[in-house]
Amino acid sequence: MTLFRPAESTSAFLKMGLLGDPGAGKTKTGVKTMIGLVQHMKKLGIDYASKPVYFFDTETGSDWVIDDFKAAGVPLMVAKRRSFADLLKATREAEAQSCGLLIDSITHPWRELCESYMRKKERTYLQIDDWGYLKGEHGWAQFTDLFVNSRLHIIMCGRAGDRFNDYIDEDGRRKMEKVGTKMRTESETAYEPSLLVLMKQIEDARSKKVKHRAVVQKDRSTLLDGLEFDNPGFEDFRPHIEKLNLGGVHIGVNTLGDSQHILKTEKKDWQPVQREICIDEIQTLLSLHYPSQTAEDKKSKLKAILKHFDATWTEIEKVMSLMALRAGYDSLHMELEGKPSRYGAPKMVEATQVAATLTGGIGTGTVIEQRDPLDIPASLDRRPKAPVSNGNAAVEMPRDLLVGNDPNWIDLFEGYRD
């Protein structure tokens, strides 16, 4: 059976993203656009236009636009929630019962998902291994699949965050610089909207009056790319909306199925097998250096396990991640054999300075301590730390470990990954 069919427009619903700083006009612009869209659909005789607009409100912004909906004669239903689980439920309910969904702000459900994940794991930090789950089909991808494929107009507002790029300066030092603005949520979310708009608050130098300016960052129709509008509303975005197959069939992207059947893997590549191999290597190394059953050797072996793994043997064998096992093994190997293991690196990499402002975070600079390319988690690394200071309080933040529950760490890490 062929995968292809004759091309036709099957994008029947507006998928719009608005991002900006506080007071930039995200909520108001989203409301004006949604109301205008509903009125436009009523003129076209689209039946579902008579249904109410649903508002998933994480910031009480809906309280301030009730009069706008009343004046337009458009019914409004509100859910004041923040959890990711409620966002998924609200999107499905809105698809069945509304003519459109406003989400303000999409930033909160993403942060709540990360925080719930840490509580579920009974941890206060995230590791690199966690991002695959958080971003994948059991995590944030549940929402992005709904966003793209739902038979529903969705306008989501998100807080703005800075995008950073790292580079090597003329002295050979690695630095970071701000290169743009992104929506402060899971880093790939902004790729999903067909219309993405950056909102800015502009103050007239003479009159001191404030206006809200929209800068179109992305328009799949290309009709509005790069254009700017002051105090925008539906009419400004109408060229994009008229390209939609309004009232017609909507076909998103088929997300079912996978490619496992075409992939060839060897059993040694399976992570459970790799864990068994690493655990056996740990046992072998300990046996080589503490071979007897004397009380002294048993005590030395237990001390080595606690020192390099900070865990009991049951935890090592049953639940410790492959990355943590390899990091602990390399640290143990370095002490007992005097050289890195096959999982390690021959020398330390140069210390890295990350210069970034954390809004509401701790200090104005973030320090990455000296690390080798293995990036041993801080909780497992027993080597002396050598933090670099930029004049502020030194903060050790390994690349593979986000310490603390402050969402600003998550934002910085996402920006750094990008």
Can you give the pLDDT at residue 265? 65
Q: Is 284 a member of any domain?
A: yes
Q: Closest Cα partner for 413 from 196, 70, 103, 184?
A: 184
Can you give the pLDDT at residue 266? 67
Q: Is 23 a member of any domain?
A: yes
Q: Facing residues of 215 across strands?
A: 198, 228
How far is it, in rounded angstroms, from Cα 24 to Cα 26?
6
Q: Closest Cα partner for 195 from 17, 24, 362?
A: 17
| Average pLDDT of adjacent 10-residue blocks, the chain of 418 residues | 84 94 94 97 95 96 96 96 96 96 95 93 86 91 93 94 72 71 82 94 86 94 95 96 91 79 69 90 95 92 94 91 92 94 60 32 36 44 44 40 41 42
State whether 172 and 26 are in the same domain: yes
Can you give the pLDDT at residue 410? 45
Last residue of a domain, one of 207, 241, 275: 241
State whether 171 and 89 are in the same domain: yes
- Model confidence pTM above 0.75: no
What range defines the domain where residue 273 resides?
267-337
How far is it, in rounded angstroms, from Cα 350 to Cα 296?
39
State whether 177 and 277 are in the same domain: no
State whether 196 and 232 are in the same domain: yes
State whether 75 and 149 are in the same domain: yes
- Compute the half-sphere exposure of residue 185: CA atoms within 13 Å on the CB side of its CA: 29
CB contact at 8 A, 334 and 340: yes
CB contact at 8 A, 197 and 16: yes
Q: Is 387 a member of any domain?
A: no
State whether 86 and 148 are in the same domain: yes
Last residue of a domain, one of 302, 337, 372: 337
State whether 149 and 49 are in the same domain: yes
Strand locations in 317-415, DSSP E?
A: 352-354, 366-368, 401-403
Can you give the pLDDT at residue 253? 82
Can you give the pLDDT at residue 35? 97
Determine which helix (DSSP H) or strand (DSSP E) holds 216, and give its type and residue range: strand 210-219
State whether 195 and 297 are in the same domain: no
CB contact at 8 A, 386 and 370: yes
Last residue of a domain, one of 315, 337, 359: 337
State whether 130 and 210 are in the same domain: yes
As for how many domains the chain has, the answer is: 2
CA separation (Å) from 238 to 40, 232, 255? 10, 11, 30
State whether 273 and 160 are in the same domain: no
Q: Is 390 a member of any domain?
A: no
The CATH code of the domain that includes 140 is 3.40.50.300
210-219/195-203 β-pairing: antiparallel
Q: Is 218 a member of any domain?
A: yes
State whether 214 and 271 are in the same domain: no
Can you give the pLDDT at residue 180? 66
State whether 164 and 112 are in the same domain: yes
Can you give the pLDDT at residue 51? 96
Q: Is 99 a member of any domain?
A: yes
Q: Is 256 a member of any domain?
A: no
Residues shown for the chain: 418
Q: Is 364 a member of any domain?
A: no
Can you give the pLDDT at residue 215? 95
